[in-house]
Every structure is written in structure tokens, then in C-alpha cells.
Structure 1
């Protein structure tokens, strides 16, 4: 299937799902999800696969076993291309439009220590800062879960202490409801932005390699 954009029906589907997140709504509108959301996402990621790798298209069902919120369905559809464990590129359709990004969403133990050591290093740390500055100038937003305190083993006055507080790190950009998301042109935008994010992904790959 050739990618031709996400139809307006995809966003209408999620607008209504936010209001009526029930099995009865889902069952009645499953064909809309399949045709307006899932099929275009598969086509988009298939077109990107030769350059970036095999995608994981997330299931639409929420894991509610231990959640207070028992609504059964996610109100967005995401896809992820991994360059390593919990690290890679992301694209998402949601009621508030489209967005793309890249980074790492989980690192614990040796992996988190390795990325912090690379952030603190006098050579690799400034290199990451330059990558993030370039991305910010290209309208990407830098985000991630962060400690409120100073991570153990580092000084509070370290020149990159704000980076060192990160437990996750991502750069993302929202397309909102730009006209191009309904056309094949969206593929070019995602490809261009994922390429712009490649230096961040590469930096993370090298930092995590120290923990392998």
C-alpha cells in the first residue's frame, strides 16, 4: 500500500474515542481504525523501513491490570523504530495531531550510568549539547523524565548538571494539524526530521555501548 497521508477520519475517530472509550464504540468503529489509522501507519513506516529499520506498531489496547484508569483503549497510535534497547525513533497520531521524535525512554542500572558518564565526559558531553542545541534551533523540543536532585556521584555545579538529571531523554516535534499530514508529503517531513534526529540516536547508541 502506498502512503497517501492520514485522513481526517483518523482524527475524528480519536476525538470520539476520548469521549466514549468503550468496547461498544471500538467494535462499532473498528473498520475506521483499521482503514484510517492502522493501514496508513503501516504504509508510512514501511516506506521509512529501508532507511531506519523495522518498525513496531503499538497495540491499541491499554494494559489495565494495575492501572486506576480502566479505559480499555489508547487514545493515540504510535510506531517505534528501535536502534537499540528502548532507544530509537517515534511517530504518533493523536487527537491533537501528529508528532515525531527520537531518544531513549528507559535506562536503568549500567545503561543509565553509561549515558550519564558520557554526558559528564569533557568530550562526549559537549558533543551532546551541540546536538541538542542544533535540534532546538530546528524547532524540536527537548524533554524527558528528570531527577529533581543531583544524581549520586556528580557535583551540583557540574556544567551539564541539567543533562545529568535526565532519566530519559527525547527530542520531539509536533506537526499538529498541518495540511500536509493528510497527504503523501507527510512521509517527506517524517523522513527529514528522523534524519535530523539521527545524531542524537547515534550519540545514545555509542553511550549505551559502554554498558554492553
Structure 2
């Protein structure tokens, strides 16, 4: 299937699902999910695969075994290209529109230690500092889990203390629902965003693995 865009019907589908997140509603509208959400997202992943790698489309069902929220379905559809454990590129469609992200959203204790050791060094640390600054200047949001205080073993006046506080580090952008979302240009927008994220993903890939 060629990628022709993500129809606004996908956004409407999730808006309606939020209002009635039930098996009855889902079964009555599953054809809309298959046609307007799953198929376009699979086609988008196929277009991006030659450059970034194969993407995994997440299942629409929530794992409610250990959650107080027992609603059975996710109110979004995501796809992820893994470049390592909890590391890679992400794209999502939900009621608000298109969302993209990249970086690492999880790390072991050893991985966090390697991350901070790299940030502490002049070469690797200033390299990451420049990557993050460029991403901010390009309009991306910087995210990730952070300590409220300095990490153990580092001084509060460290020149890269803000980065050292990170336990995970991501960049993201919300596109919303512009007219090009329903056209093949949506793949171009996601591709360009992922290309901008590539320096961070590659930096983390080299350091964490």
C-alpha cells in the first residue's frame, strides 16, 4: 500500500474512542481503525524503513493487569524504530494530530552511569550540549526523566549539570493536524524530523551500548 497521508478520520476515531472506550464501540468501528489508522501508519513505516529501519506498530490494546485504569484501548497509535533498548525514533497519531520523538526513554543503572560519564567528558559532553542546543533552536522540545538535584559524584556548578541530571533524554515535536497530514508530505515531515533527531539518537547509541 502506497502512503497517501494520514486521514483526519484517524483523529476523529481517537476523539470518539476517548468518549467511549469500550469493547462494544471498538468492535463497531474497527473497520475505521483498520482503514484510517493502522493501514496509513503501516504505509508510513514502510516509506521510512529504507533510511531508518523497520518500525514496530504497537498493538491498540492496553495492558490493564496492573493498572487502575481499566479502559481496554489506547487513545493513540504509535510506531517505533528501535536502535537499541528503549532507544530510537517514534511517531504517533492521536486526537491532537501527529507527534514525533527520538532519543532514549529508558536506561539501566549502568547505562545512566555511562551516559553521565560521557556528559562529564569535554569531547562527548560538549558534543551532546551542541546537539541539544541545535534541537532547541530548531523548535524541538527537550524531555526525559531528570533528578531535581545534582547526581551523586558531580558538583552543582558543573558546566553541564542540566544534562547530568537526566536519566533519560528525548526530543519531540507536536505537529498537530496541518492540511499536509492527509497528503504524502506527512512522510516528508516525519523523515525530516527524524533526520534532525539522528545526531542525538546516534550519540546515545554509541554511548549506551
- Alignment TM-score, normalising by the size of structure 1: 0.96
Worse overlay, 153-162 or 39-48: 153-162
Report the count of equivalent residues: 209
- Structure 2 CA distance, aligned partners of 1:97 and 1:207? 33
Worse overlay, 9-18 or 145-154: 145-154
The Cα shift of 1:44 comes to 0.2
Aligned to 1:190: 190
Q: Give per-residue Cα distances to partners, 1:116-166, cap 9 Å, x unaligned.
A: 111111111111010111111111111111111221221122111111111
Aligned to 1:88: 88
Aligned to 1:76: 76
Aligned to 1:27: 27
Aligned-CA RMSD value? 0.9
- Structure 2 CA distance, aligned partners of 1:93 and 1:8? 10
The 5 A counterparts of 1:92-171 are: 92-171=92-171
The Cα shift of 1:95 comes to 0.7
Gaps of 5+ in 1: none
Q: Aligned pair 1:16/2:30, yes or no? A: no
Query: Partner of 2:122: helix, strand, or coil?
Result: coil
Gaps of 5+ in 2: none
Aligned to 2:58: 58
- Structure 1 CA distance, aligned partners of 2:149 and 2:67? 28
Query: Partner of 2:5: helix, strand, or coil?
Result: coil
Q: Give per-residue Cα distances to partners, 1:162-212, cap 9 Å, x unaligned.
A: 111111110111110111111111011111111111111111011113xxx
Aligned to 1:200: 200
Query: Partner of 2:108: helix, strand, or coil?
Result: coil
Structure 1 segments, 4+ long, off by >3 Å, are: none
